[in-house]
Structure 1
Amino acid sequence: MREINKIYIASFLQGFGIVASVTYTLFFLSNGLSQTQIGILFSFFMITLALLEIPTGGFADTIGHKSSIALGTFLLSLSFLILAIGTNFNIFILAMLFASAGLAFQSGATSSLIHDILHKINAVDQFEKVQGRMNSIFLLSAVIGAPLGAFLFEHNKRIPYFIAFLTTLLSSFIMYIIKWEFHQKHEISFKTYFQKIHKGVLLTITNQRLLAFVLITIALTTMRLVFNQNISQPYLLSVGVSVSFIGILAAITSIILASIHAFTYKISGKIGDTKSLIIMIALPSLCAIVLGYLYTPLAIVFLILLQVGHAYKEPVMAKLTQKELNDENRSTMASTTSFLSSFVVGLLLPVWGNTIDSVGLHTTSIYIGLFTFAIGIFAVLLYVRRTNR
């Protein structure tokens, strides 16, 4: 499990990027951006991510998962460097381009690399446990990074981004030195590359369960991004929470979420896949609706519960998705599901940003809660119908 431990270390270092992201919204607002412009920034990020998902998935299946992850983490580190020196919307767009490319090269490849390493040592049954532990370690880095980032932001808003650049760059190096031999079954060529993409896409769009997962991902990712990048930070300020306490709250939340990630495999194993899907949709949806009616620090409780629902989603969806993937086209298929969800989410983000500018944070919270619940429950019904056949 030595190579899995390297993945854990790289995950911690990349997760330390929260030193910057803990004040993302406040950072952009302090540079004169409106909520609509912030929505456009992350819309560009998501749509670019979507367009890159499938070709980078094909890259991982052709060249190797480890190489794809190392390259992606390096590009992500450059996005933090650009943000550190940027001062306007156009520079921030460039940073989002590097960030989307960085995550695209990692998307699907990380879970596929874990799966392959475990398969080699006959421990595939440990996949969900390892995935959950990796996510927990990623979140635990926020226990240090979030309070530090909020504290530094109050003194110099750019220092957190330089720190995030360095830790993410180191994460890229750790991923690169993982010992994993990629066995290419065919000669590497553009023909092989495009054949893998074509086959992977077809296998994905003809799988009804994967399409149900795409709908769930669209609903939950839209909510998560709107809250994380638009609503949460100004919402907390509006109910009397200071910037420094936002960092402390992020650390506390990360500890709770790390625990959720670590034990999700046990919970989902007891209650089953369908009930797990219902929980991950209903909990954040109802919390978002309740937040629309709260104007006191009590809102903190529901913001944490909202994040708990999203934390529960990650290892469960990774496990269910991996069950549906073809071994030879694993990364391409995983990237195809990410492409479909990321593209739609990217189109929706400016709409939600404009909604905030038009009707405010609280009303938008109610609207997005109802949106997530409706789309999510429809997807669960689709999944159940296909499973029962």
Structure 2
Amino acid sequence: MALRLNNVYKVALINFFSSLYFYLPVLTIYYQRRGLNFVQINSLWGIITATIFLAEIPTGVIADKIGRKKSVMMALFLQLIGEIAFIFAQNYLHFILISVIAGLGFAFQSGCIQALVYDSLKEKGKEKEMAKASGVTEAFYQSGHILGALLSTLIVSRLEPGRITWAIILTALSVGVALVISLFIREPNLDYSHPEQSPLKVVKNAVGLIRANASLKRIIWLGVLTTPFVGYLRNFHPPYFLQNNVPPVWLGLSLGAGGILAVIASKNAYKFEASLGVSKAMLTATLIPGIIYLLMALTLGPAVAFLLFTLNFGSMSLQEPLFADYYNRHINSQIRATALSAINMISSAYIALIGLLIGWVADQRLTWAFLLMGGIVILGALTFRINEKHVVVD
């Protein structure tokens, strides 16, 4: 079956199995049982993003040199190693080491996955379908989260240590399946390799493109400053539900319901843009998470808390396919993975630094953290609005 699928659907299947996590709904509880506070918990995501920051450009250059397929395989291999190590982790230092491994894996995957999909479409003259293809891959990614979250209600509902360990083992097995599927990816038949150029020159060309392209810079600033903080939302998920008296069994169900909305949002993002136009679509897609964060700062009871988390988690996937399309329109194949890695590097640095502040604020009062995240997202959405002229490339 994998041999007959095109690259878009192979990537989609990889996204599905590599996102099939069975312990995410109780991850914060797991960390807290190991003695971690919110600053330390958020710092782990900060360490991941800091590692991405340091590794993004080198891994992007490697992807442009050796090909997208090998880079995806390396990313999944590192992810598998991280999950196996997670089974045996006992303290903050162990989690730090695992976060570094995870960051390296994300760095290998972040730029080359989009580049692989776009170049696979481009060689068939279908690059204008990038938003649609990105929606498909994102939908499969969210589907993995949905199934994992729903099954977690059965596997870890009683929060027993042994059950959580089994959830981690099952997650590792799923990542292993994704690694096997990556063996069947077909490298796009495009001349994007450049052995005659040094890595330094590739980086220079990618950075030069970003600096010289005013429209691309504005899109990047919008993407960075309206990042919906999905990792931090997951960290605050259990205490937010506890604060609103939501039963623990609803942790997995809310992630599953949010994932269903995310699939719908990501698959229909290109239709959403076609209906509203670039300006209104992007403003709406970036504003929604910020507004919901402000509402989450209020204590409104179990039902409303469940609804707000579900809507926020689901709506976050509306913007990703659009940003993927807009970035790729401005970047040529020769430096695509490197340029995308440079963009992700900027985003990673921002998320790592702001996450420490958000974690410290959450340790003081969780509602303040939601107000902070909502205010940042809304300010970014209103300050760096884009329109059709920013995404049309001559």
Q: Which amino acid in structure 2 is aligned with residue 157 of structure 1?
A: I
Q: Which amino acid in structure 2 is aligned with residue 251 of structure 1?
A: G
| 1:63 and 1:184 in contact (8 A); partners too | no
Q: Is 1:288 the counterpart of 2:287 in the alignment? A: no
> Which residue of 2 is the match for residue 124 of structure 1?
127
How far off its partner does 1:363 sit? 2.2
Inter-CA distance 250–145: structure 2 relative to 1 (3 Å threshold): same
> Which residue of 1 is the match for residue 211 of structure 2?
205
What SS class does the counterpart of residue 157 from structure 1 fall into? helix
> Which residue of 2 is the match for residue 342 of structure 1?
348
Q: Is 1:325 the counterpart of 2:328 in the alignment? A: no
How far off its partner does 1:184 sit? 5.5
What SS class does the counterpart of residue 249 from structure 2 fall into? helix
Q: Is 1:365 the counterpart of 2:356 in the alignment? A: no
* In 1, Cα distance between equivalents of 2:281 and 2:133: 18
Q: Which amino acid in structure 2 is aligned with residue 169 of structure 1?
A: G
| 1:118 and 1:126 in contact (8 A); partners too | yes
* In 2, Cα distance between equivalents of 1:386 and 1:322: 13
| 1:147 and 1:244 in contact (8 A); partners too | no
Q: Deviations over 1:52-97 (max 9, x none)?
A: 1111111111111111111111101211111111010000001101
> Which residue of 1 is the match for residue 321 of structure 2?
315
Q: TM-score, normalised by structure 1?
A: 0.92
For residue 379 of structure 1, the aligned residue among 375, 379, 384 is: 384
> Which residue of 2 is the match for residue 169 of structure 1?
176
Q: Is 1:102 the counterpart of 2:105 in the alignment? A: yes
Matches within 5 A, 1:48-127: 48-127=51-130
What SS class does the counterpart of residue 32 from structure 1 fall into? coil
How far off its partner does 1:175 sit? 1.4
How far off its partner does 1:332 sit? 0.7
| 1:201 and 1:333 in contact (8 A); partners too | yes
| 2:286 and 2:377 in contact (8 A); partners too | yes
> Which residue of 1 is the match for residue 9 of structure 2?
5
Percent of aligned positions that are identical: 20
* In 1, Cα distance between equivalents of 2:62 and 2:342: 13
Q: Is 1:275 the counterpart of 2:272 in the alignment? A: no
| 1:3 and 1:178 in contact (8 A); partners too | yes
Q: Is 1:244 the counterpart of 2:278 in the alignment? A: no
* In 2, Cα distance between equivalents of 1:164 and 1:31: 20
Q: Is 1:353 the counterpart of 2:359 in the alignment? A: yes
Q: Deviations over 1:165-222 (max 9, x none)?
A: 1211221221122122555566637x53222122112112332233223333333336
Q: Which runs of 4+ in 1 moved over 4 A?
A: 181-187, 383-388
| 1:64 and 1:182 in contact (8 A); partners too | no
5+ residue gaps, structure 2, are none
Aligned residue-pair number: 384
How far off its partner does 1:340 sit? 0.8
Q: Which moved more, 1:237-246 or 1:209-218?
A: 209-218
* In 1, Cα distance between equivalents of 2:323 and 2:375: 21
Q: Which amino acid in structure 2 is aligned with residue 334 of structure 1?
A: L
5+ residue gaps, structure 1, are none
| 2:57 and 2:342 in contact (8 A); partners too | yes
> Which residue of 2 is the match for residue 145 of structure 1?
148
| 1:52 and 1:101 in contact (8 A); partners too | yes
Structure with greater proportional helix content: 1
| 1:281 and 1:309 in contact (8 A); partners too | no
How far off its partner does 1:145 sit? 0.9
| 1:279 and 1:309 in contact (8 A); partners too | no
Q: Which amino acid in structure 1 is aligned with residue 88 of structure 2?
A: I
User: What is the aligned-residue RMSD (CA, Å)?
Assistant: 2.2
* In 2, Cα distance between equivalents of 1:99 and 1:343: 15
Q: Which moved more, 1:117-126 or 1:55-64?
A: 117-126
